[in-house]
């Protein structure tokens, strides 16, 4: 199973894609992904959420 921290790999990709080809859809994707990224930053391997991943 993949770790929730995989979301952190998508952040630089999204930024680079927006720099290369700006699009309102990428901004929408960033807004929708923000809660998952925040959760990935706070993810603890020994926490309750880790038991399900």
Q: For 3-50, how does the pLDDT look when each residue is reduced to its tens digit (9 = 90+)?
A: 778 888 989 999 999 999 999 999 999 999 999 889 888 877 666 655
**Alpha carbon distances (Å) from 30 to 6, 8, 46:** 15, 12, 28
Q: Rounded to whole angstroms, how far apart are CA atoms 53 and 38?
A: 17
Q: State the pLDDT at residue 51.
A: 57
Label residue 1 by pLDDT band (50, 70, 90). low
Strand, helix or coil for residue 33: helix
Written as six digits, the tokens of 2 are 């993949």
pTM over 0.85: no
């Amino acid at each position: 199973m993949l770790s929730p921290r995989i979301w952190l790999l998508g952040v630089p990709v999204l930024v680079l894609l927006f720099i290369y080809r700006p699009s309102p859809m990428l901004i929408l994707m960033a807004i929708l992904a923000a809660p998952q990224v925040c959760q990935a930053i706070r993810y603890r391997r020994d926490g309750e959420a880790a038991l399900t991943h």
